[in-house]
Structure formats: C-alpha cells, structure tokens
Amino acid sequence: MLSNKAFIPNIGVPSKYNVTKRRRFTQSFFLILYFIFPLFGIFYFDSSSSSFVLLGKTIGINNSVLFVLGFIVLLTSVITAAITTGRSFCGWVCPQNFLSEVINKIIKAFALKSNGEKKIIPYAVITAATLLISISVAINFMFYFGAPANVFNSLIHGQLNGNITIFASIFGILVFSGIGIFRHDFCKYACPYGIMQAAVADKTTLRVRFAKERSSDCIDCDACTDICYVDIEPRKLIQADPGCMNCGLCVEACHQVLEPLGVQSMLDFTSEKDVKKENINSKAVLITTSTLFAFLTVFIYMFFNIPSIDLTVTRDDSYVSVLKPDGYLSSNYFVQVMNQTTKEKNISFKVEGIPENFITFDKSNLILSNGQRDRFKFKLNAKKSLLTPGIIQFNVLTYDTNDINKKPLNIAKASLYVPN
C-alpha cells in the first residue's frame, strides 16, 4: 500500500490527463466546509434549544415537516449519487479518506526507509501529528452542538457540556483510529456508507473500467497497481469492486504511462449500457432525481418562509368557557413562542378580533435569545352579554417591540365558544 514504485517513461508527448489536482481541490474544499460550517453559523445543532440552525434560521423540533423534507432530500441525494457515480463520495469528498491519504504520503516521505522498514522517531512524530489532527477535528465537532460564541467561551473557561464532551472524545478516537491505524481498510471493509454506495452500482454506474477488449495493449508496468492505496488490481475491474473509491489515480497513472508511447489508456471512467434487459437503474435514477427536485423545491420554499418567531396558541382543556355567576365568561389559553433567528428578539403580544381589555397575558413582553422558547398562559375574561353566541375567532399577534411600524412577526388563530 505504501510502495514508492513509479513508472513514467520520458518518451513522446506527456499526457495532460490530471485528475489529482481536481480531486485534491474538491477534498480540501469539503474539509474546509467541515471546519467553517459551525464557526460561521452556517449549520449546527443548538443543544440548549434542541433545534438546528441553518443559514441563520433556527429550525425547531416543532418544524417536523421541514425535518422530514430535509431528510428525504439528503437520502435521495445520497442514493442518486451512489447509483450514478458509485463510491465517488469516498474518493472525492470524504474528509476521513482525504486525511488518510495525507498520512499515507507523510509516512512514505518521512517514516519509511528505502527497504520499507519504519523509522522509529519520525513515525512517532507522525503519530503525534495524527493525534493533534484528531483532536482539532474533535474540538471542531463540538461547535456543531451549540452557538459558536457559547461553545468557544465554554472551551476557554473549561465549562464544557459533559455529554457533548464525551461524544466529541469518542468522535476524536474514531478519527484517530481511522486515519492513524486502519486508514483505508476501514473504508474498504467496514464503512456502511461506502458499502451502500457499492451495493447500488450496476453497469450504468460511472466507474473505473479496464478495456479488456484491448488487453494486449497493456505493458504490465504495474503503475496502476502501485498507486492504488486500497490494494486493488485495477486491471481486474471488469466488475465493480466494492473497495474501489473512484479516485481515478490508476486512470491518471495509465494515461501518463501509455499516452507518451502513443497508446490509448487502458483505464478510464466509463459506464455501460445494458442492452439485454430493461435498465432498472436508469428508471431508479429518474425516480430519485425527480423526487429530489420536488422535495428540494418544497424544502427551499418552506425554509425561506420560516417566520422569525414561531407562535402557537392552544386552549387549556381544563378551563374552557367557564360562565361565572357574575355573568362573565372565562377561558384560559397557552402561548408557546420560539425565536427562530440567530439574534436576540424583544417581542410583545396583542390580539385582534376581540377587545383587548378582555385579554390578560401572563407575559406581555419577552426577550428571547437565539433558539430560545417560552410557554405561558393568557386569560380571556369578558361579560357574556357583550358577546354573540357561537364560536368567536380571534388572532394573537407577536411583533418586535422595537419596531415602530408594529409589523406582525407571526399570527396564531384562537377561538372562544360562547353558549346561548
């Protein structure tokens, strides 16, 4: 796996085929995203309010429809990518695979002797560096479980959430084991996501293939085998190998060796057409892409229409439309509010559709931090003779206390039953 062998002859015009730069850029890009997503508030789970934060909007547990839509979008994206490009996620996106490749290169450059034996001191230094990488990944993982400023202050002052610390520690150990001990063996044999990707591949999946019809053109240089970091024999890739990550290193090596010799590469990213039977995967891709587009459209629409304040009003079933001896009709309601932004909100309440002097709020003003929720009561107490028998509909409105225009942030409907 860590062989330094290379065979690139200096004959003819060198090949311009280069997949490594594009792959390294893609891998680096997604690794950077892992670090900046929570730090810039792009995406994280706020454990204090049990809600997700996405692009500055808080998605609470009460937004169950949005949760389901998001899950469906993610699932169909994963399935579609796996059907069309096999394990391309592993070879082009997965940070664990990228860091494992980096450690492999460092070991080959600094910790191995020419005969393949390990250099004790450099290997110990590399192990320490791997540990530091794992710790940094684990610390950043903690930022996915709270507002960045709060997590940072907790880290500085050593006031860490116990459960999150344990979870992050386990994650750090898994990262160290993955990139420092098992590396690509985990990806090849144990990663459930990678196995799923390989399982749904068929003839139409874009993957590395050996041109078996031109097998006589192969010069047996072993460049493709030597460069493969998961110990696959690319020339045997007639059928999909579940360990192949579609990284394309073998394809690049073959191009670089054969093209200067005037021979077409024996390895390339290709897909086949199934002419013998109905192409089930083509229909599956059509279904998954259509599903993905439909649910993604609905998700985007609902996401960008999330109100800044979530407001719910429910009746207190234990105290509904009680007619008192003095002729007053009384009823209790619950108000539940949640700040669905990443900024603090100062909010007030009022009613429409019924005289305001009939309503008494337990809390008329609230200051809610990002993701914070509150629940309180309000009482309706009105003289029955002033009300029309039947069901009276009215609205509860919440608005920004500092907004001079008093534009409603959200409106919830409520009702009162007035007996004859």
Per-residue confidence in pLDDT tens, the chain, 420 aa: 344 444 444 555 667 888 889 999 999 999 999 999 988 888 888 877 778 888 878 887 667 788 888 889 988 888 888 888 888 888 899 998 899 888 888 887 787 776 667 777 788 888 888 999 999 999 999 999 888 888 888 888 877 778 888 989 999 999 998 888 888 888 877 788 877 777 777 777 888 888 888 888 899 888 999 888 888 888 876 555 667 888 899 999 999 999 888 889 999 888 776 655 445 667 777 888 888 999 999 999 988 888 888 888 888 877 667 777 777 888 889 998 888 887 888 999 988 888 888 888 888 888 988 778 888 988 888 888 887 888 888 899 998 988 877 888 899 998 888 877
Return the DSSP state at 14. P
For residue 1, what are the contacts with CB-CB under 8 A and spacing of at least 6? 104, 184, 229, 230, 231
Q: Work out the angle between the directed axes of helices 95-106 and 20-39 (0-180°, nearest 10).
A: 120
Return the DSSP state at 362. S
**Using only C-alpha atoms, what is the Rg of the chain?**
31
DSSP-based three-state secondary structure for 382: strand
Spatial distance between the Cα atoms of 313 and 333, rounded to a whole number of angstroms: 7
Question: What pLDDT is recorded for position 61?
Answer: 65
Contact present, 120 and 107 (Cβ < 8 Å)? no
Q: What is the pTM of this model?
A: 0.76
Record the tokens describing residue 350, joined without a space.
């009022």
| Closest by CA position to 398, among listed 419, 370, 374 | 374
Question: What pLDDT is recorded for position 250?
Answer: 92
Record the tokens describing residue 133, joined without a space.
């990488």
Q: 337 has which bridge partners?
A: 311, 374
Q: In what order do the strands lie in the sheet with 365-368?
A: 365-368, 345-352, 390-400, 408-418
Question: What pLDDT is recorded for position 398?
Answer: 92
Question: What pLDDT is recorded for position 169?
Answer: 92
Spatial distance between the Cα atoms of 21 and 341, rounded to a whole number of angstroms: 39
Contact present, 230 and 168 (Cβ < 8 Å)? no
Positive or negative: CA dihedral 82, 84, 88, 92? negative
Return the DSSP state at 297. H
Spatial distance between the Cα atoms of 115 and 118, rounded to a whole number of angstroms: 9
Question: What pLDDT is recorded for position 184?
Answer: 82
Strands (E), 322-371: 322-323, 328-339, 345-352, 359-361, 365-368
DSSP-based three-state secondary structure for 1: coil
Positive or negative: CA dihedral 15, 16, 18, 21? positive
| Closest by CA position to 280, among listed 76, 82, 83, 87 | 83
DSSP-based three-state secondary structure for 194: helix
Record the tokens describing residue 330, joined without a space.
């009384």
Question: What pLDDT is recorded for position 4?
Answer: 40
Burial of 82 (0-12, 13-18, 19+ CB in 10 A): buried
Spatial distance between the Cα atoms of 271 and 86, rounded to a whole number of angstroms: 11
| Domains of the chain (ranges, CATH numbers) | 20-298 (no CATH), 309-418 (2.60.40.10)
